[in-house]
């Protein structure tokens, strides 16, 4: 198998960069870099038919992933999570077709495994030995686990009130954990300082080009698992936004490969009413989102007051004719019980937020009962036992 990774490109000013040496953000404008692939050759040599018989994990899309040598792939079996029909929940909410992609079945029990599998693999390939990262919680456990598997050093900065499971997971998997009094944005400042002092490579989300490449595989899988016909609507719990922009990138790549048509789902970002920078910017028609003050929600993964990829998230929402919506913690907790009792799925609070959003979007007439809706459950509720009483 051969990766068709070609170069890196700034998503804002389009400056290009060499993908064979470590890169973080654009040197000219400070914005996010994306991996670009040699689509012409990929198209000739990589087809849907090649996927049959490949292992059911995200590396089945190796040609469109950034690791050049397959020996550098650090895997714990991430990806190819099931998409469940949720007819009882669909009936309750009022949709004819409702599906849930269950990312809680990933290693480390959240979709963060995908991004960190890709980023740690690429770091290993580039000869990087020590990693650092701020995390709202789930990314920390994933980074620590994949770094352990790769034999790399992991330094993690996490809010002290993140779920216990996230802290214990880092401890058990041998990461260096620093708990901080503040939010992920404060942890990011410390992580950057430590990176400079201790020669660590900072893998903050979207501040290096490869975590998003792992997360984009959710988009490839959704297409493959739904027989190359994307749903009408995707609802996604948005923090740093890497998942939503990753899926959006995947759809374009698959269209360029000739795998799917130009039909796109409407993309909806869900945030907490007490931490909604993207929703506010969407409503105000802004290109970038102002940081949210006093962010607070039990859905710790979306307790992200500012996102470096804000313009990418907002673009995907607008181009797809989707939108952005807030939900409350009370609604999330109530919905966890509804989904648990109707579908047997113990969603994480962030995942339950997407079901609440689906309900509001139908009630307000923004979506209709005939639209095929896919919810992303980004992790398992079992990681939040201390938050759910
Ligand atoms: C369970 C869960 N859902 C959603 C998110 C938000 O992810 P993204 O950065 O892709 O927006 C996170 C991030 O920590 C998370 O842990
Ligand atoms: Zn740039």
- The boundaries of the domain holding residue 216 are 83-110+211-384
Q: Is residue 367 part of a domain?
A: yes
Residue 372 near residue 101, CB atoms below 8 Å: no
Question: What CATH number does the domain containing 308 carry?
Answer: 3.40.50.1100
Is residue 132 pLDDT above 90, yes or no? yes
Q: What is the mean pLDDT of residues 260-287?
A: 98
- pLDDT at 126 (0 to 100): 98
Q: Is residue 7 part of a domain?
A: no
- Any residues with CB less than 8 A from the CB of 387 and at least 6 apart, and which? 163, 298, 300, 349
- How does DSSP classify residue 17? E
Q: Is residue 290 part of a domain?
A: yes
The whole-angstrom separation of Cα 203 and Cα 60 is: 24
Q: Is residue 178 part of a domain?
A: no
Pairing of β 33-37 and β 5-10: antiparallel
Nearest CA to ligand 1 atom 5: 301
pTM of the model: 0.97
**Which H, E and C letters describe 52-118, residue by residue?**
CCCCCCHHHHHHHCCCCCHHHCCCCCCCCCCEEECHHHHHHHCCCCEEEEEHHHCHHHECHHHHHHH
User: How many domains does the chain divide into?
Assistant: 1
Return phi, psi of residue 180, to 5°: -125, 155
Dump pLDDT digits (tens) for 26-84. Answer: 999 999 999 999 999 999 999 999 999 999 999 999 999 999 999 999 999 999 999 99
Dump pLDDT digits (tens) for 331-366. Answer: 999 999 999 999 999 999 999 999 999 999 999 999
- Calculate how far, in angstroms, residue 217's C-alpha sits from the geometric centre of ligand 1: 15
- Calculate how far, in angstroms, residue 381's C-alpha sits from the geometric centre of ligand 2: 38
Pairing of β 201-202 and β 130-134: parallel
Q: Is residue 251 part of a domain?
A: yes
Residue 87 near residue 345, CB atoms below 8 Å: no
Dump pLDDT digits (tens) for 92-121. Answer: 999 999 999 999 999 999 999 999 999 999
Dump pLDDT digits (tens) for 360-371. Answer: 999 999 999 999
Among all chains, which residue has been given the structure tokens 């599906």?
99
pLDDT band at 388 (very low <50, low <70, confident <90, very high): confident
Return phi, psi of residue 146, to 5°: -70, -35
Q: Is residue 328 part of a domain?
A: yes
Nearest CA to ligand 1 atom 15: 301
Return phi, psi of residue 164, to 5°: -55, -40
Atom of ligand 1 nearest to the CA of 239: 11
- Calculate how far, in angstroms, residue 149's C-alpha sits from the geometric centre of ligand 2: 33
Give the residues surrounding ligand 1 with Cβ less than 6 Å away.
110, 112, 136-139, 205, 237-243, 301-302, 348, 350, 378-379
Q: Is residue 330 part of a domain?
A: yes
The whole-angstrom separation of Cα 358 and Cα 376 is: 11
- pLDDT at 277 (0 to 100): 98
Q: Is residue 345 part of a domain?
A: yes
């Amino acid at each position: 198998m051969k990766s068709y990774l070609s170069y890196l490109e700034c998503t804002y000013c389009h400056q290009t960069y060499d993908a064979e040496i470590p890169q973080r953000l654009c040197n000219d404008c400070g914005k996010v870099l994306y991996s670009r692939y040699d689509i012409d050759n990929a198209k000739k040599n990589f087809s849907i038919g090649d996927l049959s018989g490949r292992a059911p994990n995200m590396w089945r899309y190796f040609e469109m992933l950034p690791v050049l040598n397959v020996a550098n792939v650090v895997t714990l079996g991430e990806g190819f999570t099931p998409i469940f029909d949720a007819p009882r929940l669909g009936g309750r909410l009022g949709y004819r077709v409702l599906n849930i992609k269950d990312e809680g079945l990933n290693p480390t029990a959240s979709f963060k495994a995908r991004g960190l599998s890709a980023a740690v693999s690429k770091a290993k390939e580039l000869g990087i030995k020590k990693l650092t990262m701020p995390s709202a919680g789930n990314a920390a456990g994933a980074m620590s686990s994949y770094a352990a598997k790769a034999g790399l050093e992991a330094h993690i900065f996490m809010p002290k009130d993140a779920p216990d499971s996230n802290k214990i997971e880092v401890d058990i998997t041998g990461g260096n954990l620093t708990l901080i009094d503040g939010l992920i944005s404060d942890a990011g400042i410390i992580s950057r300082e430590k990176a400079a002092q201790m020669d660590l490579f900072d893998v903050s989300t979207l501040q290096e080009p490869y975590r998003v490449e792992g997360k984009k595989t959710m988009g490839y899988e959704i297409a493959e698992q739904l027989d190359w016909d994307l749903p009408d609507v995707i609802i996604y719990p948005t923090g740093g936004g890497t998942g939503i922009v990753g899926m959006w990138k995947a759809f374009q790549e698959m269209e360029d490969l000739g795998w799917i048509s130009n039909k796109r789902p409407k993309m909806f970002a869900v945030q907490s009413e007490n931490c909604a920078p993207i929703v506010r910017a969407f409503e105000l028609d802004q290109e970038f989102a102002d940081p949210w003050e006093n962010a607070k929600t039990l859905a710790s993964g979306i307790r992200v007051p500012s996102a470096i990829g804000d313009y990418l998230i907002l673009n995907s929402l607008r181009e797809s004719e989707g939108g952005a919506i807030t939900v409350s913690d009370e609604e999330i907790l109530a919905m966890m019980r509804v989904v648990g009792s109707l579908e047997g799925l113990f969603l994480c609070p962030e995942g339950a937020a997407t079901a609440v959003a689906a309900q509001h979007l139908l009630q307000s007439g923004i979506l209709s009962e005939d639209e095929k809706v896919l919810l992303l459950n980004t992790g398992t509720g079992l990681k939040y036992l201390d938050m759910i009483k």
